[in-house]
A and B are shown apart, each in its own frame.
Chain A
Amino acid sequence: MAMNFPPGPAADPPAPKPNSKVPAAPQPEPAPRPNIAELFTAFAAISLSGFGGVLAWARRIMVEKRRWLTAEQFNEAFALCAFLPGGNMVNFSVIFGSRLRGPLGALAALAGLLGPPMVLITAVGALYAHYGDLPVLRRMLTGVAAAAAGLMLATVAKMARPLFKKPFKNRAVIGPVIALATFTAIGILHWPLPVVLAVIVPVSITAAWLQS
């Protein structure tokens, strides 16, 4: 799905997991440590089965099918990835691959994740260069973009719920204010992202620090 995954709440490793159906029941024994080729093919499979975002498939393949991670380990690794800048799955492939097989493992997982979709999207780009002006295609893509915006709004609503729950308790009103200020600066005023974050991130982290 078109989703960002928010950094997980502190001292609370399980990250938000919208599609989690993983039971907390006893896990079977972990599978043997995968080799470089297995890392590549596993991440290629994850990448190609997930349309518009791949978290649900990563969980299914890593935890349920291949049993390389327990559900808790997956959540812990993913919370870390969502907290780091950049693509969540890119970070996940690097951290997972490097923990199992060092730098080469990280490269193999990353290549598996990015290689196949890069080939596909480049082919799509070539087709778009030829047929992008067809009116019917343009209207279809407008529809898809509108739907994708809707998925993002749903993500916003899910993320906002805990933030707006008890805004006046414990001075937590700062959270909604930060969110609104970020939205206004970037979404409405179209200010450059690095400038906005250079101001707003220190303020937000200081506020979170003072609350704890």
Chain B
Amino acid sequence: MNNDGSSLSSLLALAAFFAVTSLFAVGGANSAIPEIHRYAVDVQHWLSARQFADSFALAQLTPGPNLIIVTLIGYHVAGIAGAVVATLAMCTPTSVLAFVVGRASERFKGAAWHGALSRGLVPVTLGLTAASATVIASVADYNWVAAAITLATACVALFMRVHPLWAFAAAALIGALGLI
């Protein structure tokens, strides 16, 4: 961890990083997972790879939108102030953008450039989501049992209508029994 610097500089670093990154989260907050991992774990050493994966899992288990992993990372770095700053930084720039575009969207609906923009972003989002899955899977004690859980969950989600909480419960149970 890198908490020895002044907490103000930590807060500024959190704010700057998440404000910029939010604008590149094409297709949703999960698209930013690899970038958050790269910066928080590899560059700033705010948390270990293990803690990052734990934070992701905890955010999945807590009700709320996906981006609350950002709140958790902010809390880890700089306590409650960090949690608030990181969340606001992650939401404010894109909220302002959404506010402006939401008001103007009636005007450009159906414009050709709008269609090209939408279609052009689909494969990028796809690549980013695949990268997120890879980053989450590459945690320290990811072994063949964990890989089997990943594959089984993917199959269940694709071919059955099961609430994701059941998959999480089953996976947590396998972990609790010491099988991972």
Q: Are chains A and B native binding partners rather than an unrelated pairing?
A: yes
Judged by DSSP, the binding face of B is helix
Return the contact of B63 from the options A1, A48, A187, A201 (Cβ within 8 A). A48
Contact flag A182-B124 (CB < 8 Å), given A49-B63, A150-B167? yes
Q: B153, A147: Cβ atoms under 8 Å?
A: yes
Judged by DSSP, the binding face of A is helix
Query: A77–B78 Cα gap in the complex (Å)?
Result: 35
Query: A161–B178 Cα gap in the complex (Å)?
Result: 36
Q: Which residues on the B side are within 8 Å of A86 (C-beta)?
A: 22-23, 25, 28-29, 67, 90-91, 93-95, 97-98
Q: A125, B72: Cβ atoms under 8 Å?
A: yes
Number of interface residues of A (CB under 8 A): 106
Q: Which of A27-35, A65-73, A87-95 contacts B (4 or more CB under 8 A)?
A: A87-95
Q: Which residues on the B side are within 8 Å of A52 (C-beta)?
A: 59-61, 66, 164, 168
Mask for B126-152, Cβ within 8 A of A = 1, else 0?
111111111111010110001101111
Return the contact of A85 from the options B26, B66, B171 (Cβ within 8 A). B26
Chain A nearest CB from B5 CB (Å) reads 19
Q: B67, A90: Cβ atoms under 8 Å?
A: yes
Return the contact of A156 from the options B26, B105, B119, B129 (Cβ within 8 A). B129
Which range contains the number of B residues in contact with the other chain? 35 or more
Chain A nearest CB from B91 CB (Å) reads 5
Q: A4, B30: Cβ atoms under 8 Å?
A: yes
Q: B98, A90: Cβ atoms under 8 Å?
A: yes
Q: Which residues on the A side are within 8 Å of B12 (C-beta)?
A: none
Return the contact of B98 from the options A81, A174, A192 (Cβ within 8 A). A81
Query: A121–B118 Cα gap in the complex (Å)?
Result: 33
Q: Which residues on the A side are within 8 Å of B112 (C-beta)?
A: 209, 212
- From residue 61 to 99 of chain B, which have CB atoms closer than 8 A to chain A? 61-68, 71-72, 75-76, 80, 83-84, 87, 90-91, 93-95, 97-99
Q: B98, A84: Cβ atoms under 8 Å?
A: yes
What residue of chain B has the Cβ atom nearest to residue A95's Cβ? Answer: B102
What residue of chain B has the Cβ atom nearest to residue A193's Cβ? Answer: B35
Q: Which residues on the B side are within 8 Å of A114 (C-beta)?
A: 64-65, 68, 87, 91
Contact flag A6-B122 (CB < 8 Å), given A52-B60, A132-B54, A182-B128? yes
* Extra 15 A-B pairs, beta carbons < 8 Å, given A128-B72, A156-B130: A80-B101, A84-B98, A114-B91, A125-B83, A138-B141, A140-B172, A149-B137, A150-B157, A156-B126, A156-B133, A192-B38, A193-B32, A201-B26, A201-B121, A205-B120
Listed in ascending order, the chain B residues whose CB lies under 8 Å from chain A are 20-32, 34-35, 38, 42, 50-51, 53-68, 71-72, 75-76, 80, 83-84, 87, 90-91, 93-95, 97-99, 101-103, 105, 110, 112-137, 139, 141-142, 146-147, 149-158, 164-165, 167-168, 170-176, 178, 180
